[in-house]
Amino acid sequence: MSSCTASGFCFQRLLAPSAASEVTDFPPLSRPGRETSTGRRARTGGKLTGWYIRLQNCTSCYIKGESSWEETRVHRQQDPASTTVRVGLIGRGIQKSRTPGMHEAEGQAQGMTYRYDLFDTAAGTPDDLAGILDRAEAGGYAGLNVTYPYKRAVMALLDTLSPNAERVGAVNTVVFRNGRRQGHNTDAWGFAEGFRRGLPGAGLDRVLLLGAGGAGGAVAHALVDLGARQLLIRDTARPAAEALVASINAHAGAETARVTEDGVAEADGIVNATPVGMLALPGTPLDPSALSPRHWVADIVYVPLATALLTAAAARGCRVLSGEGMAVFQAVRAFELFTGRPADPERMRATFHRLGAAGEVQA
């Protein structure tokens, strides 16, 4: 229930308090990445039974705040033990992502009513990241996955970050729980798990990483965790490469990573963490003629699975790893974060393959 005043303010009632409830104002809220608002609290016998949020010049009522006195949000988040789960994905150009299908099929296999929605800012969803989070949280979502181009921007809108998300500097999974927004990064673990299974025994003395964006950061930290002794980081935007080098060296020790303009000749293996090779951006991120059989080559692109880079590398005798593992295992970990239940990786992998029709995009 909501009522808008002539002054342009709007009150939306989330939970109906009794007629005897005391309704009083509380101080304005000011939080990085969110609107400043003034709200009303409804209490019955000293117990919180409902919240009103006032937004200036609103066109739709958003629900926001915390469970504390200063910032107040009704706890409509999903019970982790619930058999009804609603989650979603925020991104741009994600209509054919395989992630919703993997989650929904796994939820159904575990006896859940599992709904996975898309918030695609290239397909009608307003490009308002804060508003999307507010509406999803208010609507009882268990959480949201986040993909390009929002993995870094979303961090300012969260209450806490997991150690992994803070270290990587990007979030791809947001969990709504106990009135708080928790940011996680499952990409790093997803890549590492896929690498362990797909390229056992691969040399890790020197690894060339192509791409220093949000995905590149996750891959870089995963490679360090896997035992890489030195990372050579290459990006067309040198400042991005330098920032990632600084992050890696701060966590893993000086000289662990450095910027390079080439790096192929001195590397044991190469990882493509750029979008080059996707259906929408065909090609290779380096000259395949520089590859030799001593190299292993991994690509995080998964549509197509056989990218031009991997096809050329295999033809030159290299061991190769597609983006399948990272795509599946990041979803495995996100499912567990959303539901509190472990997922079956092989079942999710089978779904991934069933959804592998030509023309799909990744997220």
Matching residue, tokens 């983006």: 323
Look at residue 141 and tell me if it is in a domain: yes
DSSP state of 67: B
Are residues 88 and 143 both part of a single domain? yes
Task: Please tell me the predicted confidence (pLDDT) of residue 93.
Answer: 84
- Is 127 annotated for ligand binding? no
222 and 119 together in one domain:
no
Say what the pTM is.
0.76
Q: How many domains does the chain have?
A: 3
Q: What pLDDT was estimated at residue 321? A: 98
343 in a known ligand binding site: no
Residues 208, 151 share a domain:
no
Query: Do residues 225 and 127 both lie within one domain?
Result: no
Q: Where are the beta strands (DSSP E) in the chain?
A: 2-4, 9-13, 22-29, 37-44, 47-56, 84-91, 113-120, 143-146, 160-161, 173-177, 180-184, 206-210, 230-234, 257-259, 269-272, 296-299, 319-321
Which residue do the tokens 């993995």 mark? 151
> What is the pLDDT at residue 96?
78
The per-residue pLDDT for 304 is 87
**CA Rg, the chain, in Å?**
23
Indicate whether 270 and 310 sit together in one domain: yes
Task: Give yes or no: residues 112 and 160 share one domain.
Answer: yes
Domain holding 255, by residue range, is 199-322
Q: What is the pLDDT of residue 363?
A: 52
Q: Which residues are catalytic, by number?
A: 151
pLDDT tens for the chain, 363 residues: list them.
Answer: 333 333 222 323 333 333 332 323 323 323 333 332 333 232 223 333 333 333 333 323 333 332 222 223 333 344 555 689 999 999 988 887 899 999 999 999 999 999 999 999 999 999 999 999 999 999 999 999 999 889 999 999 999 999 999 999 999 999 999 999 999 999 999 999 999 999 999 999 999 999 999 899 999 999 999 999 999 999 999 999 999 999 999 999 999 999 999 999 999 999 999 989 988 789 999 999 999 999 999 999 988 899 999 999 999 999 999 999 999 999 999 999 999 999 999 999 999 999 985 344 455
> Any known ligand binding at 214?
yes
What local confidence, expressed as pLDDT, does residue 79 receive? 54
172 annotated to bind ligand: yes
The answer to whether the CB of 75 falls within 8 A of the CB of 181 is: no
Q: Is residue 76 part of a domain?
A: no
Q: Is there a domain that residue 359 lies in?
A: no
Q: How far is CA 277 from CA 246, 292, 323, in A?
A: 27, 20, 11
The verdict on whether residue 292 carries a ligand-binding annotation is no
* Integer Cα distance of 143 and 183 in angstroms: 10
Q: Which of 265, 275, 282, 223 is nearest to 247 (CA)?
A: 223
The answer to whether residue 192 sits within a structural domain is no
**Exposure of 76 by Cβ count < 10 A (0-12 exposed, 13-18 middle, 19+ buried)?**
middle
CA dist 75 and 25 (Å) reads 19
Q: Two tokens at 207?
A: 């690894």
The reply, when asked if residue 252 is annotated as ligand binding, is: no
CATH (domain of 155): 3.40.50.10860
Q: 79: how many CB neighbours lie within 10 A of its CB?
A: 12
> Is 99 annotated for ligand binding?
yes
